[in-house]
Amino acid sequence: MKKTQVHLIDEEVDFPANEQLVSTTDLQGVITYANDHFCRVAGYSRAELIGQHHNMVRHPDMPKAAFADLWGKLKQGKPWRGMVKNRCKDGRYYWVDAYVTPIFEQGRINGYQSVRSRAAPEMKAVAGRTYARLKSVERGERKGGLSLRPMRHGLAIVGVLLMLAGGAYLMGPWGPLFTLLPLLWLALIYRDTLITTPRYLRQLADEYDSLTRLIYSGEDASAIADFHIKLLQARIRTVLGRVDEWTMRPSPCRISRCI
């Protein structure tokens, strides 16, 4: 199949903050529903969208890693939130803050729903830089991708241990005892900070961490908890949006099964 050349225009299409662009697809990503807002912003009629693969609006500035992250989450039955740059029919582009969820019927995934809101300017800037870096890696212009590991403080810990060891040596045979007692006391006082909180953050990372966390919340350890909150906020926003969608869509029962 011959690949057609993509025509691009460096002009952004904006839309009101109170509008949500909603679409559903089957398991292969073929569009089964598109609301009026999506059609208007993308520049396609509903007839042009239905039956086509959702990547027809994919912008070439989007890195493959972002969509690999998306599909990885969806196939596990988990939601995904991310900044997405899409291409309009006429070649212009629009940014969205997307929240994509599996559609369950009788306990099985039988499709996906995407609810997209207007992207905040600061998030577009961060996403643009992040995706440009990933694209340069794809093109072989630079090495290394993005690490999801939170920032570690290994060097600082090693430095403290070396200082304590030096102090213990200078204080003679009783040095280790006088050095360890304050450390044990601090460990008891800050048990939650040193043990409980990191364990909780690791559990959140195993369940919810995503490449897009780097865009929404940053790299440090607390960013994992912040990203989890943002996922919950997106879910609430999506549920509220579905209430409006329910009143406009002929067959609302399917929407209720996406939650």
The rounded distance, in Å, linking the Cα atoms of 50 and 34 is: 7
The rounded distance, in Å, linking the Cα atoms of 66 and 84 is: 9
Crossing angle for the helix pair 222-248 and 197-208, to the nearest 10 degrees: 40
Place of tokens 């990885």: 72
Q: At CB < 8 A and 24+ separation, what contacts does 43-46 make?
A: 43/13, 43/88, 43/89, 43/90, 43/92, 44/89
The distance from CA 24 to its chain's CA centroid, rounded to whole angstroms, is: 19
What pLDDT is recorded for position 194? 54
Q: Are strands 93-105 and 80-87 parallel, antiparallel or unpaired?
A: antiparallel
- Of 214, 241, 240, the closest CA to residue 227 belongs to 214
Q: Which residue has the higher pLDDT, 254 or 133?
A: 133
- How confident is residue 250, by pLDDT bands cut at 50, 70 and 90? low
Which pTM value belongs to this model?
A: 0.71
Amino acid code (one letter) for 70 = L
CA atoms within 13 A on the CB side of 234: 24
Instruction: Give pLDDT tens digits for 134-171.
Output: 999 888 776 655 554 554 444 445 455 555 555 555 55
The rounded distance, in Å, linking the Cα atoms of 100 and 238 is: 9
Answer whether residue 17 shows pLDDT above 50: yes
Answer whether residue 178 shows pLDDT above 70: no
Share of residues in the chain with pLDDT > 90 (%): 49
* SS3 (DSSP) at 87: strand
Answer whether residue 86 shows pLDDT above 90: yes
